Amino acid sequence: MNEKATRRVLLGTIGAGTLGATAGCLDSLGGDEGDEPDEDDENGSNGDDDTDQPDEGGETEEQEEGEDVPDIDGGAVVFTYDDGPMEDYEQAFPVHQEFDAPASAGIVTEWVGREDFNDNDWMDVEHLEELAEAGWEINSHTTAHTALSEFELVEDVEPDDVRIYPEERNHGFHLEYDIEVTDGENSVVRTVVASDHDETGPYLEFDEPVGESFAAGETVERYPEELMHEFLGDSKAQLEEWGFEVDTLLAPYDVCDEWTIEFASEYYDGIANVNPGSLVNERESFDPFDTNRGYFIENADPLDIQAQLDEVAAQEAIGIVGAHTFMEEVDQEGIREMLEWIEERELTVVTLTDAFSAVDAEQS
């Protein structure tokens, strides 16, 4: 089974219809054959027939659900802004209001309302409420902006080693968390106390020796299952406690793999940035757990962005774009220009969940 097929199986385990037409909520599929009629059904029709009966306003349940599915004929674009800085509210939000265009904000729950943290101020719950009331979607961006992927070791490990050398040291950006080192047969868990580079390369340093031998190229380091559930489940729970519907994930550091998806699919209907780079997602094969996202200002060529938008329009595809609004180069002028390009191509701006819902309705 290839990677995309694996992702589709993971999505399927959540249950058909999870990306239904009601803003990504997990909806039931209607009554099974042989269901008893509802007590208030005067005609005694079964559950299957109920879905075709008009309500008091003359509309069927199917029609009512269809009204929640956005029309993305001609193609659509999703904006996903990272981390939840005040600039989302002060810079991006006013420009999106000018164009009556929603966006999706990836929120790190432990950063909400913090001031002068990481050289920035961060939106509080009241700001998020205003965004949501204006049609924005709130995404989870984990509890503490932790990388969710596995990283392969590039150096062998001996039992008395306290350092390991992964291909990337994303897990070293947050000290004091446990890390699992595993080759699929043997596993050890150690606590990260330092992270840096030496003459060998980037490393993670543990509080005690690894205690086992592991071979480079056959071993990965990752957060253990308990922490994966904490980062993903606690984030969703906190955002929902604040009153937001949270059905999608924005993966920190643009790193996402099968280990990520295994746990994320338990909590979310899809991920915004499984494959960073291109912003174009083909409509016919659109998979919420195999999405492409590209930055539209930072590290981006305006001519290339316009060419990709042309491709989205020509294919009636879905573009997913992102930005860190606290970066100096991401300003109102750049956001406004992007929205103008989208408007010129008659593309529809939707939230991530609405994009998932619209395509799911077409594929059902």
The count of domains in the chain is 2
- Mean pLDDT of the chain, nearest integer: 86
The CATH number of residue 291's host domain is 3.20.20.370
Residue 350 is assigned to a structural domain of this protein: yes
Indicate whether 59 pLDDT > 90. Answer: no
Q: In this predicted structure, what is the pLDDT of residue 318?
A: 97
Q: Is the pLDDT of residue 361 over 50?
A: yes
Domain-located, residue 299:
yes
The pLDDT tens digits of the residues spanning 37-56 come to 333 333 333 334 444 444 44
pLDDT tens-digit readout, 124-142: 999 999 999 999 999 999 9
Query: Where does a domain end: 222, 255, 271?
Result: 222
| Pair (113, 261) in one structural domain | yes
Domain that holds residue 331: 76-145+229-363
Tell me the pLDDT tens digit for each residue of 324-341. 999 999 999 999 999 999
Give domain status of residue 13, yes or no: no
Residues in the chain: 364
Mean pLDDT of all residues in 74-83: 97
For residue 71, the model assigns a pLDDT of 82
pLDDT of the residue at 26: 26
- pLDDT at residue 21 is higher than 70: no
Residues 303 and 358 in one domain: yes
pLDDT of residue 67: 54
Rounded mean pLDDT, 16-36? 30
